[in-house]
Structure 1
């Protein structure tokens, strides 16, 4: 299904048009998770999955009396979403817009139970492209990891701020100087594509920004957390049936994830090694690379390029870990999705009320109880200190 760029584009277009539900129906039903209480994790090889991976590595699920299977590594968002919808996994991390698309376009009963992390992504451009700002992206080819992604949203905010137009055109089609052509690549494919000159840049989660810097001749143009302060990227998602029929089990799962996030927030260097190929091997990349992806934010080159220009003012890091799903961010995402160019039909967004999505898609009962039980979550720099459960979103290009 994902062997070639053409087949990938067609499959993603099919899914965006509601084909995910059709695929699941053909397989015998939607989101039918196994009836036992074993925690089955699906994840991409990215630091967005840290909380789930650390919870597994440190035995946090077992501390809650749960059984787990080894986390299953998936290379791209489309197969992860399909695997979750088919019931192969009952605990996953998904880019925040994906559950919106799954629930309201494909009728997949998914629930967001917590945030998986904040920040943690960047826009990488080729060092030889001459790109020094969003204004220089005109006439260029930029890759995103999925149409319904925080990356696509933040990228297009930057593109439009420079007076440019995001478009989706086939290879070889004429591209105006004011147009930025977008395509979807799975995260592991991005650095090789940049190194080969097939694209001019990409926006993605870590550690593929760090990999692009060190191995693909890339440099960070902007960190996404420097454009949208402490934005959500991946969220923790579960089947709605589990949250309704197995509330005690669901609470234990969320407790374990929250404990893992607190640990990750306080022990980033150690956690980077733990999830790398030199540790438990969840992310098949060296510890030094994953450590850079998690901890390396103070850099004179970043200061010179303006990659993290709000660092001192905002006080965030390259990636942070806090689980509370701020309602204001969910509302902003739904509003931004209506303006974001994607391939396929997105008419489902036309009448989607952001306030309704906040209440219908996100369930806060489990995470709220966990946060009361483990108040150390408030120590993370991405938590709003004045009012930990509410904030005003800040987006500054």
Structure 2
């Protein structure tokens, strides 16, 4: 052990004597490790943030829709289907038709783009964020076509400059048709960020209202494009989805399993995770190339070092230094160069990753396992690419080495 520390001490002394060259040698390693750490830190943070938000957003919400394009059939849903599913399904909090429209909301503070989500009273489970004022619209409101709605706090602030707006009204314009909506509830808008992301990144008003308002305004029939089911827990999501599709296929006599389809928040979470995995793999490949280039750079510099220190090697050998000692010294030097480069890369990657996460407003997620692997891998690169120069140094003849100028 004492001899190992002596090798490390000698290696550090040589690095201090040529700081500039040592840093340039480390640069490829630094860039490679920093890239991987940055992407994994940001990727894990983003994936964790989105997954966490989606897990609570609708708490395992399931959307069932009919994919009839090019199938030559006409399948839609109605209130009878919803009542049927309510009777047959277990562990369900609510079932609602659901549709999302774009429009304009106009209040005392101005006119704003609006995203309108319409359904029955079960739409209250669309978000787990609580109501901070008022109440959700009721089933009676849905059945009577009452022009009422629930806004997020941010939407109320935009329209009125205050969230104390229960009972107030504002104008909603949908495709040229204008109506007044009475505000009966204000929802906390902690999830406004994820809703904005799902809507393409806009900061539009978020309005929830009875589906019957749309049927009244536009004379729509009762057919629904989709049904949304809210399980009691996300644990029941997959089982409920499978059962619901089977029931609807049987009720409507649909034989093609690709017509009535289902999409859940679990699917969306998996898609986000898959995208981040692909990005991580791609950047890891780029980083691997950078590490390879860095490793070749280490080998070249070590070969130069062997040439410059040929006489020193000859003196050490003539004084009794063993071949293995010479080899271990150069391997230690190569390993330390890449280890220091790896450590600098880790610190740099963590700093950049945290800055990016801070700018994007989600928590950074640091993986200790990745940090440990990066540290060990960077050392391994140095040792692997240092073997050839170390062997070359160890095999030098002391007589020939002493003749070297």
Structure scoring higher RCO (CA < 8 A, sep ≥ 6) equals 2
More helix as a share of residues: 2
TM-score, normalising length: structure 1: 0.23
